[in-house]
Amino acid sequence: MNNNRHNDQRGSALIISLVMLTAITVVSMVAMQRSSTQIRMINNLQHQHEVANAARGTLSYVYDVMRDDSALQGKIMSLSERMYKNALDKDDVDIPHFDPFTEFSNVLSQPKFDSKVVPDSGITTSVSALPKPSGNNYYLKAVPGCGTACDVLPAAISTTAVSKNNVITVTQEIGVLRLIPGGA
């Protein structure tokens, strides 16, 4: 009888080891799936940062060029104001905008980025005039060259970058003021 009991237990070690191997396999597969999901999340985050950096870089480039080239700044701001006034005259609800790289291609060129995520055609930049506060002149005592009053031309520069797969879109925008001593 003792010998018979030993024969009954021979298969139990095999079954227990198979159950343990199955459990270890399932735990390993879950761990691998989680790590691959985390890798995809990190890749998406890196792509999002790259798209945002392309938008910020383009915006910074336009701003720096405008800051360093007052003649170009004047042309860009004047065009945006002229387009804005024309839209107001026509009772147009939409604020018009233009691409400075197209309008001023002789002095302003679209920056290129070495990016696997953002194609060169995926970056768009526009300049639009902003509504002026009421009143003609603004008292700007501390601004050199203004004396007691300056006209202000407000505008917005907006850059949008879109990833190659059109999943990530980032828009960056800054406001620009041009002061005109004594009024326009």
Rounded CA separation 170/123 (Å): 10
Nearest to 96 by CA among 73, 79, 72, 71: 79
- If one counts the domains in the chain, the total is 1
Rounded mean pLDDT, 78-85: 84
Rounded mean pLDDT, 54-78: 85
Q: Could you tell me the pLDDT band of residue 181, with boundaries at 50, 70 and 90?
A: low
Rounded mean pLDDT, 97-103: 89
Q: Could you tell me the pLDDT band of residue 184, with boundaries at 50, 70 and 90?
A: very low
Range of the domain at 103: 2-181
What mean pLDDT, rounded, does the chain reach?
A: 79
Rounded mean pLDDT, 40-66: 85
- 2-16, 26-40, 84-98: least confident range: 2-16
15 vs 1: which has the higher pLDDT: 15
User: According to the model, what pLDDT value does residue 20 have?
Assistant: 92
Question: Does pTM surpass 0.75?
Answer: no
Q: Could you tell me the pLDDT band of residue 23, with boundaries at 50, 70 and 90?
A: very high
- Do 133 and 165 meet the contact criterion of CB atoms below 8 Å apart? no
| pLDDT reading at 134 higher than 60 | no
